[in-house]
Amino acid sequence: MPEQARVIAGRYELAAPISRGGMGEVWRGYDTVLDRDIAVKLIRPQLLMVDEEREELVGRFRREARVMAKVEHPGVPAVYDAAFDDGSNQLFIVMQLIHGPSLSDVLAEETRLVPSWAASVAAQICSVLSYAHAVPVVHRDLKPGNIMLARGGVVKVLDFGIAALLRSDVTKLTSTGRVMGTKPYMSPEQIQNLPVTPQTDLYALGCLLHEMLSGQRVFDATEEIALMYQHLEKPPTPLRELEAGIPADLERLVLDLLAKNASDRPESAWAAYDRLVPLLPPADSLASDTEQPAGVIPDPTRPFRRPAAPRPRPSMLTRDVAALPAIPEIDLDEVDEALSEAERLVDEERFTQASEMLCDLLPRASASFGSDSEQALDLRISYAAALYLGGDYRKAAPEFEALAKTYTLDGNDTEESLDYRRQAVACRVALGELDAAIPELESIVRAQHRIDAYGRDYLSLRLDLARLRVSAGDPEQAVQELWPLYEDAVRILTPSDELSVEIDEMFRRLRATRGR
């Protein structure tokens, strides 16, 4: 008799392993309910940590999977399920099964790709990233093993959900937990445990392009410390010194993507895509387009001969207020019921439903009670929180900023206004908008000093500001601010307090990496 298949969650049969990595393993599987082949990613049980922390991790895992599922793009495998199976003590993700080789397999066979192929792969990755960064989701772990060439030459970017799984909690401005990424493709800000932004993914894209075009990694130290140092300090070798036939514009793009400071890289995936367009094959609907036999590497130029493009750039849409229908009134009981229902939906992590319901009610509450009434404000606070928890930072940021203005009294910040300003900054950081986040956080630090210059919040805000300065390419200013911050932390707290230790470690790391 054949060996009985292992079953997860009572429905997903595991047929055979596909790959293994640091996060876990991927299996080819079968969904017995929907009668289809699937891929199942099993997270290593060790990553669930101790029992007291498991519930938090599982809850965060589910939230991240929901955010990741919002990345609707043909280049992202569909996520069918994400849960914790109590029977096997296993955290898992069920995904669309992709047929085709990984980029690591292609490079192992071909060594390097011709420029038109490399540009086509990179352009498709940019297209995926444009959708992801608009959510916003930062991948954090782009590498050849996470890129697949599916049938028809369509590039698939894998493991968005896995990369987001172990990131720092969304309520914090900075990454103070596990350093995510694969070190040959890890950005300087990840190595320094600084906030990640969309530019973090662009650095990894530069590493991928360099490897596709030259057949070798941009940095090749075998020891981990030496490799990290190269990413932080060593200039990359220009591609045309390795392969003379590479177009100059492509070499320049790779060097820009590999800039040590995130602020010196292209401003977005859209910008990188625009620079790749002249290097892509022209559209040709009359070109031969027969299906390739099994075992042949799919041609990544095909989607451009039958054109593809990234997500449309964000734009500010305005509504014709005069054309809107009359707004029906709402009473106090309806407001109370709505708040209770929103709380229930949030507790069940149904954030999109909660935010949509509250958004529909807000105009009615404002019309009935006034935009700054207690009823309208309660709904606005719940709405902003639902957006934030659901990962919709682009909508949450202006909501928190508006709340902060509402709770400012006579031009002076209150504890409530500062809380909302901090939440807005967290949104801006998640969106990669450091130019807006830094001056706002500077203002918040000054305001917090006026309210309580001896509290932990004030010290934490100053550390957050130093991290953002490094991410924005200003480590010198961060170093100047960290030492007096450490002295204040030791005086207000203790030298052994975890915040004092964290400040000291960051100061020493920055000094060491800058050769002081």
Helix spans in 135-223 (H): 160-165, 188-191, 198-214
Q: Given the residues 141, 159, 413, 464, select the one marked as catalytic.
A: 141
| Burial class for 484, CB neighbours closer than 10 Å (0-12, 13-18, 19+) | exposed
Per the annotation, the verdict on 141 as an active-site residue is yes
For residues 164 and 376, give the distance between their C-alpha atoms in angstroms, rounded to a whole number.
34
Residue 129 structure tokens: 């990233």
Closest CA to 254 of 119, 108, 110: 119
| Gyration radius of the chain over CA positions | 25
For residues 2 and 349, give the distance between their C-alpha atoms in angstroms, rounded to a whole number.
41
Residue 336 structure tokens: 């109370």
* Cβ–Cβ under 8 Å, residues 346 and 164: no
Question: Going by C-beta distance under 8 Å and a sequence separation of 6 or more, which residues neighbour residue 466?
Answer: 478, 481, 482, 485, 506
Concatenate the DSSP letters of all residues of 423-492 into one string: HHHHHHHHTT-HHHHHHHHHHHHHHHHHH-TTSHHHHHHHHHHHHHHHHTT-HHHHHHHHHHHHHHHHHH
For residues 104 and 159, give the distance between their C-alpha atoms in angstroms, rounded to a whole number.
15
For residues 164 and 66, give the distance between their C-alpha atoms in angstroms, rounded to a whole number.
11
Output phi, psi for 309, to 5 deg: -155, 160
For residues 73 and 57, give the distance between their C-alpha atoms in angstroms, rounded to a whole number.
27
For residues 287 and 465, give the distance between their C-alpha atoms in angstroms, rounded to a whole number.
54
Classify the phi-psi angles of 24: left when phi > 0, otherwise alpha if psi is within -120 to 50, otherwise beta.
Answer: left
For residues 232 and 260, give the distance between their C-alpha atoms in angstroms, rounded to a whole number.
7
The residues that are catalytic are: 141
